[in-house]
């Protein structure tokens, strides 16, 4: 599974999780969204609270993992515009993840996640890149070239058998020459569900505020 497909699938799941949420609390800079039971009581599953913080930041938490997005740069302190800055953005894998990393100041520990299926797809891509790199080394004769290609194929096959364990897989990939260090750490790494669900909560809040404004 590619990174793009992984993020798309989890975004769809997260959007679905919030699709029946209602606006429970609507203040100038603080909101709560949740589903309701048929009797009107609040269902706490995936209930979320969103707070517009000082310094261009947004907090999202509740019955989902806490997340903070930073930094909204407009100095007008328009809380709704700040919500739309994240909730209406569609580039979750890069832009939304980047702003969560700034907000959580975690060095990627909370905003990134590892998935073995994504790793397998990444390995297939980088294997082709490595084979092309070998092919372009004109100083090698045909026999040397084919030998090096076979060695690289074997190495990637070993890495794939260990893709269930990110650390073990990376140890194998570090045996590669050249500039492999530039991409090894990103194999199988994608945006975490923490970030995706927080973004989906913001997205739903934006929808609800639009509905309230046009009611």
Taking residues 202-215, report their average pLDDT.
92
pLDDT reported for residue 74 = 79
Q: Is the same domain home to 44 and 139? A: no
pLDDT reported for residue 177 = 80
Q: Is the same domain home to 56 and 149? A: no
Q: Is the same domain home to 31 and 123? A: no
Asked whether residue 152 carries a pLDDT value surpassing 70, the answer given is yes
The percentage of residues in the chain with a pLDDT greater than 90, rounded to a whole number, is 81
Best CA proximity match to 165, nearest among 173, 155, 176: 173
In order, the DSSP letters of 183-204 are: HHTTTTEEE-HHHHHHHHHHHH
Asked whether residue 215 carries a pLDDT value surpassing 80, the answer given is no
Asked whether residue 134 carries a pLDDT value surpassing 90, the answer given is no
pLDDT reported for residue 86 = 96
pLDDT per residue over 83-129, tens digit each?
999 999 999 999 999 999 999 998 889 999 999 999 999 999 999 99
pLDDT reported for residue 71 = 94
Q: Is the same domain home to 100 and 197? A: yes
Q: Is the same domain home to 40 and 120? A: no
Q: Is the same domain home to 207 and 177? A: no
Q: At what angle do helices 3-18 and 193-213 cross, to 10 degrees?
A: 50
Cα separation of 26 and 205, whole Å? 10
Residues linked to residue 9 through DSSP beta bridges, in sequence order: none
pLDDT per residue over 168-208, tens digit each?
999 999 999 878 889 999 999 999 999 999 999 999 999 99
- CB of 11 within 8 A of CB of 89? no
Q: Is the same domain home to 123 and 109? A: no
Q: Is the same domain home to 31 and 105? A: yes
Between residues 58 and 215, which one has the greater pLDDT? 58
pLDDT reported for residue 138 = 61
Q: Which two tokens stand for residue 213?
A: 């404004």
Q: Is 28 exposed, middle or buried (0-12, 13-18, 19+ CB in 10 A)?
A: exposed
Taking residues 27-51, report their average pLDDT.
95
Q: Is 166 exposed, middle or buried (0-12, 13-18, 19+ CB in 10 A)?
A: middle
The percentage of residues in the chain with a pLDDT greater than 70, rounded to a whole number, is 98
SS3 of residue 207 by DSSP: helix
Q: Is the same domain home to 107 and 13? A: yes
Q: Is the same domain home to 42 and 19? A: yes
List Cα–Cα distances, 146 to 58, 134, 143, in angstroms.
54, 9, 5
- The domain in which residue 102 lies consists of 3-113+192-213
Return mean pLDDT, the chain: 93
pLDDT reported for residue 139 = 64
Which residue carries 């907000």 as its tokens? 103
Cα separation of 209 and 80, whole Å? 9
Q: Is the same domain home to 141 and 157? A: yes
Core vs surface per residue 82-115: b (16+ CB within 10 A) or e: bbbbbbebeebbeebbbbbbbbbeeeeebbbbbb
Q: Is the same domain home to 108 and 122? A: no
Sheet holding 42-53, edge to edge: 22-26, 30-36, 42-53, 57-62, 67-69
Contacts of 137 (CB under 8 A, 6+ apart): 145
Number of domains in the chain: 2
């Amino acid at each position: 599974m590619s990174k793009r497909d992984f993020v798309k699938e989890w975004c769809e799941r997260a959007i679905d999780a919030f699709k029946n949420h209602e606006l429970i609390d609507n203040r100038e800079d603080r909101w709560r969204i949740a589903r309701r039971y048929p009797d009107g009581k609040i269902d706490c599953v995936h209930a979320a609270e969103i707070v517009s913080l000082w310094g261009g930041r947004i907090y999202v938490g509740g019955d989902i993992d806490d997340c903070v997005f930073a930094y909204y740069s407009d100095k007008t302190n328009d809380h709704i515009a700040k919500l739309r800055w994240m909730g209406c953005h569609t580039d979750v894998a890069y832009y939304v993840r980047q702003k969560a990393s700034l907000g959580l100041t975690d060095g990627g520990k909370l905003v990134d996640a590892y998935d073995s299926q994504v790793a397998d797809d990444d390995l297939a891509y980088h294997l082709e890149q490595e084979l092309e790199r070998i092919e372009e080394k004109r100083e090698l004769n045909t026999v040397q070239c084919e030998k090096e290609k076979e060695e690289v194929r074997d190495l990637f096959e070993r890495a794939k058998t260990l893709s269930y364990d990110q650390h073990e897989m990376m140890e194998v990939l570090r045996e590669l020459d050249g500039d492999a260090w530039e991409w090894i750490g990103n194999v199988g790494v994608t945006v975490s569900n923490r970030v995706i669900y927080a973004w989906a909560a913001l997205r739903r809040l934006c929808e609800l505020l639009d509905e309230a404004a046009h009611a």
